[in-house]
Amino acid sequence: MFAIIGGSGMTQLSCLEISHRQIIRTPYGEPSGPLTFGKMKNENIVFLARHGHGHTIPPHAINYRANLWALHSLKPSHVIAVASVGGIRADLTPGRLMIPDQIIDYTYGRSFTFFEGKEKPVTHIDMTLPYSQRTRALLLQAAKNAREAVLDGGVYAATQGPRLETAAEINRLERDGANIVGMTGMPEAALARELDLNYASIAVVANYAAGRGTNVSSIPLKEIYAVLEQAMVGVRNILEHVVSCDGH
């Protein structure tokens, strides 16, 4: 079984033959919404809308622990997270797709670990490579098979949100080595690692980050949704090819 987490622009998976929806209870509360089960190319798929079906849960209020725990309980072979981001690097124009390989966490105040409480021992997880190399390779091969252009590797900056960043903050992120900026990459990636899930992300550039592109004084929010709608066609194409790749 593959698990897919949909972000902004993907509150449902149109290429999924839905069989049923199920609410899964977890020790950490309820996930963002019911999990959707079905098939894609005869492969079992479970889909979860990260922000809720109506896109009503802001990034800082998502119950990441419940989301990952619910998916973990189903023992998926891979967890693929789709996330919309802002492009910092000049070549990361709206509509581009990236399979990031690194992440920098600027979030705060989020429930970021399963290993807390007096009854649990201190546990350190290795985040040298924050995304599963197996899942990244699978996504890259699927993109090649689907003839969809993706950038292999890049640094995702996870910010708190829900507001967008200032131009000065984006300059700082760029100096830190970030190429794209989003609001949901952490603690999602770290929690997936704690649960030993094969987790990787498809980052969809929805807009230029603040101070970048041709309109440096503002971000045209109305244009973001049109870009996401078009880019998600490519994402769905990749996902359909993922389930056809060998070695999953």
Buried b (16+ CB within 10 A) or exposed e, 59-97: beebbbbbbbbbbbeeebbbbbbbbbbbbbbeebebbbb
Helix (H, G, I), strand (E, B) or coil at 136: helix
Q: Measure CA 182 to chain center.
A: 9
As a whole number of angstroms, the distance between CA 30 and CA 135 comes to 26
Is 8 one of the annotated binding-site residues?
yes
**Strand, helix or coil at 149?**
coil
Distance in angstroms (rounded) separating the CA atoms of residues 117 and 167: 39
Q: Is 209 annotated as a binding residue?
A: yes
Decide: residue 163, CB within 10 A, 0-12 exposed, 13-18 middle, 19+ buried. Answer: exposed
Any known ligand binding at 225? no
Q: Can you say whether the dihedral through the CA atoms of 20, 23, 25, 31 is positive or negative?
A: positive
Is 32 annotated as belonging to a binding site?
Answer: no
Q: Which amino acid is at 35?
A: L
Q: Is 14 annotated as a binding residue?
A: no
Spell out the alpha helix ranges (H) of the chain: 64-72, 133-146, 167-176, 188-194, 221-242
50 is in an annotated binding site: yes
CA distance 45 to 3: 6
184 is in an annotated binding site: yes
User: Is residue 208 a known part of a binding site?
Assistant: yes
Annotated binding site: 8, 50-51, 183-184, 207-209
Annotated binding site for phosphate: 8, 50-51, 184
Annotated binding site for substrate: 183, 207-209
